[in-house]
Amino acid sequence: MCRILGKYREGVCAPGTTDKQMWEARKVKDSLHPDTGKPILPPFRMSGYVPFGTPIVVGLLLPNPTFSQTVFWQWLNQSHNAAVNYANRNASKETPTVTLLQSYIGAVTSAVSIALGLNWLINRSESLRPSTRNLIQRLVPYPAIATASVLNVVLMRRHELAVGINVVDRNRKTIGTSKVAAKKALMETGLTRAILPLPVVVIPSLTMNYLEKTALLKNFPKLRLPLHSLACLVAFGGGLPVAIAMFPQVSSISTSVLEEHIRSSTDSDVLFYNKGL
């Protein structure tokens, strides 16, 4: 299947190849890791982020969460994020199991700590009106999720910063291993993770804050959860492609900013690397 796409990029298309076969080949290729060539499990692919992540987002945005609810949903969210970050990492270098476990614990601990700390501060703010406090509590997950998501990326992929990632030329020939490229890759991925929760948290929160004041939810309170879930699904489905499209998965970097051993190994002005997703 993947050979069909490779030939197509070279301007060669086998006789009898149909559009359906081309799209099927594309689907197969997108399910494989670009570095290892191994299949990525459906829950951890970017195409599975919305269907598998939306129930978690709904839980994160439930109003007036208890201590145990906050801990559970933040733990579940960051566990899912950690798996997605690992599955879509740059895998040109192996990551030790001990490093993965340490990174996972750090990511989850930071998420839960930030969320609980913000909730505690809001609950201590007696000067806030109940409606204002309720709105702020709905928005609390954003700084918690955004900060923890960035830390999650850095912690789950910190091994790349330590050893570097492969950079290749236009012919996909590996030129060397670069820590500079690894830093750029994590910065781009981290920025994506910081932007992604913005529409996912803010849009459903503002939508539900408005709808709860209307006669619809006052007369039919059982509609609250379905409408909340729908708002999360729409916001997540719309926000994910925008966030992912900010930087291409195969990114470029000027050879002049890379390490000396790489600059001396190629005549190319620009090299490429797998940023990860």
- Which band of pLDDT confidence, cut at 50, 70 and 90, is reported for residue 125? low
Share of the chain above pLDDT 90, in %: 2
17: pLDDT strictly greater than 70? no
How much is the pLDDT for 1? 47
Name the CA radius of gyration of the chain, rounded. Answer: 22
82: pLDDT strictly greater than 50? yes
How much is the pLDDT for 93? 66
More confident residue, 53 or 129: 53
How much is the pLDDT for 180? 92
How much is the pLDDT for 122? 64
Share of the chain above pLDDT 70, in %: 78
CA distances from 275 to 133, 196, 212 (A): 40, 17, 42
SS3 166: strand
Degrees to nearest 5, angle at CA 57 with 30 and 219: 130
pTM, to two decimals: 0.68
Place of tokens 């409408």: 227
- Which band of pLDDT confidence, cut at 50, 70 and 90, is reported for residue 92? low
46: pLDDT strictly greater than 70? yes
> Could you report the per-residue pLDDT of 224-275, keeping only the tens digit for each?
888 888 888 888 888 888 888 888 888 889 998 888 888 888 888 899 988 8
Backbone phi and psi for residue 254, each to the nearest 5 degrees, phi listed first:
-65, 130
Report whether 159 contacts 95 (CB < 8 A).
yes
How much is the pLDDT for 105? 84
| Alpha helix stretches (DSSP H) within the chain | 2-9, 19-30, 49-60, 67-87, 97-124, 130-139, 141-156, 158-163, 179-195, 197-211, 215-219, 224-244, 260-263
Average pLDDT value for the chain: 78
> Could you report the per-residue pLDDT of 169-217, keeping only the tens digit for each?
888 888 888 999 999 988 888 888 888 888 877 888 788 878 888 888 8
**Of 113-122, 135-144, 263-272, where does the model show the most confidence?**
263-272
Report whether 208 contacts 138 (CB < 8 A).
yes
CA atoms of 200 and 13, how far apart (whole Å): 41
> Could you report the per-residue pLDDT of 158-169, keeping only the tens digit for each?
788 888 888 888
81: pLDDT strictly greater than 60? yes
How much is the pLDDT for 219? 85
